[in-house]
Amino acid sequence: MTDTPLNIQKKQVEIFLSKSPKERASLGFEMIQFGYEVLKQRIRSENPKYTKYQIAFEIFRQLHQKDFTKIELETIEFAFRKNSLSLQSQVF
């Protein structure tokens, strides 16, 4: 989506590039974390009965659905379920 005028986009890039590499990396990580949190909250609101493991798999599925075949995703989902059951049975 590009609803930001070109002159504003250029100014944003100029400001971003004026930062040190460490600051740019930090901002990038913050943006990734923010996107992850937005995705997690959307999944949680659409599926209020999901466990944290179901939410984790759904995040994984949405981020990587083009990287794996349907069968591979089903195998990964099975592993998520299996691990979640074994973790739930452990006493910490």
The domain segmentation of the chain, as residue ranges, is: 1-40, 47-92
Q: What is the pTM of this model?
A: 0.71
CA separation (Å) from 22 to 10, 25, 27, 28, 36? Answer: 21, 5, 9, 10, 21
pLDDT tens string 9-56: 999 999 999 999 999 999 999 999 999 999 999 999 999 999 888 899
Gap between the Cα atoms of 29 and 43, Å rounded: 21
3-state SS assignment for residue 66: coil
pLDDT tens string 1-21: 578 999 999 999 999 999 999
Q: Name the more confident of 84 and 65.
A: 65
Gap between the Cα atoms of 40 and 65, Å rounded: 16
